[in-house]
Amino acid sequence: MTDKYTQFVSRGLGKDIARKLGLPQPVVLRRHKAGQPLIEGPVLVQGTGSGADELASALLSWKLDVRRHAVPREKLGAIILVLDELARPGDLEQPVLTAASSLRDLAPNARVITVSRAASDSADPAVAAARQGVDGLLRSLAKELRAGATGNGILLANGAGTTSPSTLGALRFFLSGRSAFVDGQFLTVTSAAGHLPADADKPLAGRVAVVTGAARGIGAAIARTLHRDGATLIVVDIPAAGDRLAAVANEVRGTALQLDISRDDAGQRIIDHAVARHGRLDIVIHNAGITRDKLLANMDAGRWNSVIAVNIAAQLSINEALLASEHFRNSPRIVSVASTSGIAGNRGQTNYAASKGGVTGMVRATAPLLAAHGGSINAVAPGFIETEMTARIPFATRELARRLNSLQQGGRPDDVAEAIAFLASDAAGGISGEVLRVCGQNLVGA
């Protein structure tokens, strides 16, 4: 659904009116397009340690215009603040305030990215305080940025470095238009696993992927994005959606599997279908989900149980079959669709929020089980996304929901799909057990 307000206030008369009246001024976001540069404008890398030097060298190898010192009034495409050597809170002053002097030089749709170490990796109170301080700093700064600029962070854990494969993979994702609706979020690199693909335009080439709930909306967008990135697709949905599922399968040159994922044998049927056609399965995207909203005081067993069955119990059952299968062993990737409702809660959605909170718990507990096979599992938690469902929300409620994030607009199904495609790639092989919110930095609960 088109956000006509954003289109109107992004330019000319509409922009002037919004500014004079103090109305929200969202801008059209720079989203990924084939052949576009990774980032437009110079990239300022700030930091004095060896990690900053190594990261700057890596970015130069990507043929980016890298700066180590700011040039006054030069428009910047990105600022990368490397804070990997913090030892006490006072260490934040010099690099942070130096970066602050360049914030007014950020171009529209620019990026600010912090690279720091996880507070949980240190038992020293001062070190942990300094590292955790980056969390509050980055999330607050993201709410100050304007004109489509975003702020996100990369946390290094378990000895991961500034040039570990998934550090660079996360950096590439955050710099690019693929992360247009990701704002105020952190990704933790937990190992040196993974690698950057030789072909950045086809990072999933040669991989076999399953997407559930693929007949429409976000699921169909995920299938299209994985296909664009080179994956071979198996799209899954309920028999009642057969015609639409077949259309998506034809579009992505994949195969369709009509299946109720809440069946006890759903996991084995998915595996059997993949093996019969491709000999293996590499990627599973748990997108299928339902809502049966009701205030808890009015909730009945049917509404509660159906949401739990589809949104979390089915994923657990399918994952159990995947973990037991010899055909899901080649650096396997699982990505689940969670929700900001499962993080911050939402009125009338106790059943849905419980199921999506369950997804978060499942992802964290399953990560070590996949590590033995070089695999990973993560989740993406969408906020307000422009879909057929949100288009049916009453006008005033819909407009309010659109503006309640730092980017002051709703996301698109493609925004969710881009985040999932990244987490399904080998560039994210060292990232596991994470929940990445695609919400434009919701102002409540995120």
Q: What is the set of active-site residues?
A: 352
Instruction: Kindly give, in sequence order, each residue whose CB lies less than 8 Å from that of residue 57, ignoring residues fewer than 6 positions away.
Output: none
Helix, strand, coil shares of the chain, percent, nearest 5, are: 45, 15, 40
Give how far the C-alpha of residue 61 lies from the chain's centroid of Cα atoms, to the nearest Å: 25
How many CB atoms within 10 Å of residue 160? 25
User: 152 forms bridges with which residues in the sheet?
Assistant: 113
Tell me whether strands 186-189 and 208-212 are parallel, antiparallel or unpaired: unpaired
What is the secondary structure of 151-180 as a DSSP string?
A: EEEEEE-TT--TTSHHHHHHHHHHHSGGGT
What is the secondary structure of 350-414 as a DSSP string?
A: HHHHHHHHHHHHHHHHHHHHHHTTT-EEEEEEE-SB-SHHHHTS-HHHHHHHHHSBTT-S-B-HH
CB of 175 within 8 A of CB of 38? Answer: yes
- How many helices and strands (H and E) does the chain possess? 16, 13
CA atoms of 191 and 375, how far apart (whole Å): 11
